[in-house]
């Protein structure tokens, strides 16, 4: 029983960028427009408040100069005529005066309060809204209240008109910003189109590598793709070379064996049988070696190995195979996985430890360590070791398989191939246990 679930919808980079940038730009402009409105409102109020405060101070000085006389014509000064959209109210004790008697009903209640503060007074008949400053003080124990007010409706209308024009300008800027975003997205994604064209050329054989003439953000990607192509070419060349070597080296022996077996007059007995068996065993070893080499994944395979876990498994397995020998593992790795293909690492460590197990008298020591750049594998035994003059030839590609003896031969040749494919280092030296020490360094990246 199975069910079909809708697949995850994956948007293109262009769609994703536009989905994020365009709404963000619209939101940004909207928020900027709202903030502009709030700041404009606050600046207008602060300006009016400051002006009302100064006018109240001016009126207070006039009152102090004439007190205790009450001059009702005080509010009829020519100054107030020039600011007819302002309203003034004055109370000295029980005496009151208004610059605009028609607004007496709205302002009269505010004169009874003796607290200095800014006010908002609504004039119900005409729907006007006044910003007012009430100044309260005393002279000779008599309370004096001054109210100066300004019709804020006129300023609010001008402010609203300015804010609407700002909205029109903002919309024009938003349209311009959208065009810039479309142009920027198109320009930013042009390297992707270039990469697509070059991959097509690569498939068609018009080029062998991708161009590095790209923006800096793409250089790493292109370099990795070119490196992957190098790796694939190396593997293909290695596979072809292995098949060519195999074909060349087994063609003649097989032809000889076929000729002997086809000749019914030649008895296959004695030394001839032994030679044929030996030759067939050699061919089998050669086939196995080439199969191992062709199965190497090499670096850039995108896989990792768990060195400690794999070594523990191999040490346990070889301990069962060589029951009279002890296998020891020392490790201080703090990185659980390494950029080495799991099969390659198993082939590498299996051959080295198995080789040490064959030649060891009683003990094999495997040590896993790491430094800043490398994973270091050391395998040593207490066997007879190898003479210094012969160590350079260990694992050499030039050795013929049929000349390799059991032990330090085929396995070490495979090890050398794997280490070289990872740009590592392989070193043979004398072990502190008395036998051979194999030291392998594999780079982290």
Give the DSSP letter string of 286-322: HHHHHHHHHT---TTSS--B-HHHHHHHHHHHHHHHS
- Rounded to the nearest 5 percent, the helix, strand and coil shares of the chain are 55, 20, 25
The answer to whether 101 and 121 are in contact (CB under 8 A) is no
Q: Which two tokens stand for residue 431?
A: 């072990």
Q: What is the pLDDT of residues 351-366, one digit of tens each?
A: 899 889 988 999 999 9
Q: Could you tell me the CA-to-CA distances from 204 to 210, 223, 225, 233 in Å, in that order?
A: 13, 20, 17, 16
**How buried is residue 143: exposed, middle or buried, by Cβ count under 10 Å (0-12/13-18/19+)?**
middle
Q: What is the pLDDT of residues 244-271, one digit of tens each?
A: 777 766 777 787 778 777 777 777 777 7
Instruction: List CB contacts of 401: < 8 A, sequence separation 6 or more.
Output: 282, 285, 286, 289, 410
The average confidence (pLDDT) of the chain is: 81
Q: Which two tokens stand for residue 335?
A: 């990185």
pLDDT bucket at 387, cuts 50 / 70 / 90: confident
Q: Is the per-residue pLDDT at 438 higher than 90? A: yes
Which of the residue ranges 139-143, 390-394, 423-427 would you say has the lowest mean pLDDT? 390-394
pLDDT bucket at 38, cuts 50 / 70 / 90: very high
Rank 42-46, 262-266, 273-277, 283-287 by mean pLDDT and report only the highest. 42-46
Of 99, 106, 93, 108, the residue nearest 73 (C-alpha) = 99
Q: What is the pLDDT of residues 64-119, one digit of tens each?
A: 888 877 665 655 555 555 555 778 888 888 888 888 777 888 888 888 888 999 98
Q: What is the pLDDT of residues 324-336, one digit of tens each?
A: 899 999 988 777 7
The three-state DSSP-derived secondary structure of 68-123 is CCCCHHHHHCHHHHHCCCEEEEEEECCEEEECCHHHHHHHHHHHCCCCCEEEEEEE
CA–CA separation, 382 vs 273, rounded Å? 38
């Amino acid at each position: 029983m199975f069910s079909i679930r809708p697949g995850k919808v994956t948007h293109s980079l262009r769609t994703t960028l536009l989905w994020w940038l365009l709404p963000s730009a619209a939101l940004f402009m909207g928020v900027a427009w709202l903030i502009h409105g709030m700041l404009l409102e606050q600046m207008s109020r602060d300006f009016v408040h400051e002006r009302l405060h100064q006018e109240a101070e001016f009126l207070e000085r006039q009152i102090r100069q004439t007190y205790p006389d009450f001059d009702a014509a005080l509010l009829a000064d020519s100054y107030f005529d020039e600011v007819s959209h302002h309203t003034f109210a004055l109370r000295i004790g029980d005496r009151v005066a208004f610059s605009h008697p028609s607004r007496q009903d709205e302002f009269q209640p505010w004169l009874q309060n003796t607290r200095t503060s800014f006010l908002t007074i609504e004039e119900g008949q005409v729907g006007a809204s006044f910003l007012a400053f009430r100044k309260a003080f005393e002279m000779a124990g008599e309370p004096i209240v001054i109210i100066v007010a300004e019709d804020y409706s006129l300023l609010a209308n001008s402010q609203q008109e300015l804010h609407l024009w700002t909205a029109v300008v903002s919309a024009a800027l938003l349209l311009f910003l959208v065009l810039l975003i479309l142009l920027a997205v198109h320009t930013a994604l042009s390297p992707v189109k270039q990469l697509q064209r070059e991959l097509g050329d690569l498939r068609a054989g018009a080029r062998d590598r991708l161009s590095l003439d790209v923006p800096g953000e793409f250089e790493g990607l292109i370099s990795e793709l070119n490196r992957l192509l190098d790796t694939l070419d190396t593997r293909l060349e290695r596979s072809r070379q292995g098949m060519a070597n195999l074909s060349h080296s087994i063609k003649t022996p097989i032809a000889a064996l076929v000729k002997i077996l086809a000749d019914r007059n030649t008895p296959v007995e004695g030394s001839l049988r032994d030679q044929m068996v030996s030759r067939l065993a050699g061919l089998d070893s050669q086939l196995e070696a080439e199969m191992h080499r062709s199965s190497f994944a090499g670096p850039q395979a995108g896989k990792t190995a768990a060195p400690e876990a794999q070594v523990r498994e191999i040490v346990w397995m070889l301990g069962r195979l060589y029951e009279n020998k002890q296998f020891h593992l020392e490790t201080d790795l703090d990185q659980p996985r390494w950029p080495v293909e799991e099969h390659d690492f198993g082939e590498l460590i299996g051959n080295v430890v198995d080789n040490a197990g064959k030649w060891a008298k009683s003990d094999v020591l495997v040590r896993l360590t790491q430094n800043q750049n490398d994973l270091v594998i050391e395998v040593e035994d207490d066997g007879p070791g190898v003479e210094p003059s012969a160590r350079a030839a260990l694992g050499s590609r030039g050795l013929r398989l049929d000349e390799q003896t059991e032990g330090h031969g085929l396995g070490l040749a495979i090890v050398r191939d794997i280490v070289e494919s990872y740009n590592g280092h392989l070193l043979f030296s004398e072990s502190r246990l008395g036998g051979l020490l194999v030291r392998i360094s594999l780079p982290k990246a």
